[in-house]
Amino acid sequence: MHQVFSAAGAPKAIGPYSPAIRAGNLLFLSGQIPIDPATGTVIDGGIEAQTDQVMRNIRALLEAAGAGFQHVVRTTVYLIDMDEFASMNACYARFVSDPPPARATVQVARLPRDVRVEIDAIAVVS
């Protein structure tokens, strides 16, 4: 059985997918982009501002499912410019718990709505 989660503090899905879905004790968060949930628009700013918004969106979805960053075991970060890795990483580090989750970071040609970063996550919940 699957349980779908959304949150007022995270943007609505912009396509045919669930923002977060729990299957057993695993919580899968769809890729989050820097959309302001109040306006539904991409936030202004560079990689730091965009990463901050993405991480706040992830936090809202985790909390809606009764979890937090301490439950996250895996993330994937998609960047359109690997030269922005250090700035993204500094912002990302302010959100994740110790020990940080496993992670892959890849450079991609393009992301939805032409944002600079997208992050998805997997968490283990009880």
Query: CB–CB of 59/87 below 8 Å?
Result: no
Structural domains in the chain (count)? 1
Tens of pLDDT along 47-81?
Answer: 999 999 999 999 999 999 999 999 999 999 999 99
Does the pTM surpass 0.85? The reply is yes
pLDDT value, residue 68: 98
CA dihedral 73, 78, 84, 88 (to 10 degrees): -30
Tens of pLDDT along 76-126?
Answer: 999 999 999 999 999 999 999 999 999 999 999 999 999 999 999 999 998
pLDDT at 1 over 80: no
Query: CB–CB of 29/120 below 8 Å?
Result: yes
- CATH at 30: 3.30.1330.40
* Confidence tier at 6 by pLDDT (50, 70, 90): very high
Which structural domain, as residue segments, surrounds residue 76? 2-124
